[in-house]
Structure 1
Amino acid sequence: MKKNIIVKKNSVTYQIPPQNVVYMEKDLRRIVIHLSGMASSELVVYGSFHDLIPNLDERFLYCHRSYIINMDEIIIMSHNQILLSSNEGIYFGKDTYRKAQKTFEEYMQRKRKEFS
């Protein structure tokens, strides 16, 4: 069982099921968590990816200094963009693409083995 992602906003603690996170976006000192399957499509918290990353499972790809993506939500990965199930595109450079593509392919191979 995958553990929930725990974040705090003001004095409220949120437990977010990882499968409900489409991606996370860093904006200055804020983290915008883009959600699916929940009443609110975004949750904005203050913090850093540095504090959040150790609590994420293998489905999350830190593909750019500003983005962490749930690889289960990836529809298409091209040389400079990832298209997500939410129809949002994440753009990045060529060097980032190579690393992201390798990580994504390894993740998909592990998932295929789990279901075989």
Structure 2
Amino acid sequence: MEVHTTDMEDIIESYATMDELEGQLGDRFYRCHRGYLVNMAHIVRYDADSIFLSSGEKVYLTRKKHNEFVKAYMWYLQNGGVSCV
């Protein structure tokens, strides 16, 4: 698995599974697709099927997870999370 940093300069390789990584990272990260965990502090905006990050990357958001994501992101923002917006 590859971990991309916000400046897109560093790519870190990890041999942890997505489930393991998700458990270690906690509520600041959201699993929007089976292959993506996003840092909620770097979300610029989202729409029905995508999350746009401060790095310029667009990450796919499954339809099944859209409502869950919105709830998680709103909870994050209401509980002291910082957004890039």
TM range (shorter): 0.7 to 0.9
- Cα distance in 1 for residues equivalent to 2:63 and 2:22: 23
Amino acid in structure 1 at the alignment position of 2:53: L
Deviations 1:65-90 (A, max 9, x none): 11111000000011110000000000
* Length, aligned pairs only: 81
Amino acid in structure 2 at the alignment position of 1:86: S
Give the RMSD, CA atoms, in angstroms.
1.8
- Cα distance in 1 for residues equivalent to 2:20 and 2:63: 27
Larger Rg: 1
**Runs in 1 of length 4+ with deviation above 4 angstroms?**
none
Residue 71 (1) aligns with residue 21 (2): no
Deviations 1:94-116 (A, max 9, x none): 2211111111011101116xxxx
| Secondary structure in structure 1 of the residue aligned to 2:70 | helix
Higher RCO structure (Cα 8 Å, ≥6 apart): 2
Contact 1:59 1:70 in 2 (8 A): yes
Deviations 1:6-51 (A, max 9, x none): xxxxxxxxxxxxxxxxxxxxxxxxx11011359x421122231122
Q: What stretches of structure 1 of length at least 5 have no aligned partner?
A: 1-30
Scaled by the length of structure 2, the TM-score of the pair is 0.82
| Secondary structure in structure 1 of the residue aligned to 2:14 | strand
- Cα distance in 2 for residues equivalent to 1:108 and 1:61: 13
- 1:40-55 alignment to 2 at 5 Å? 40-55=9-24
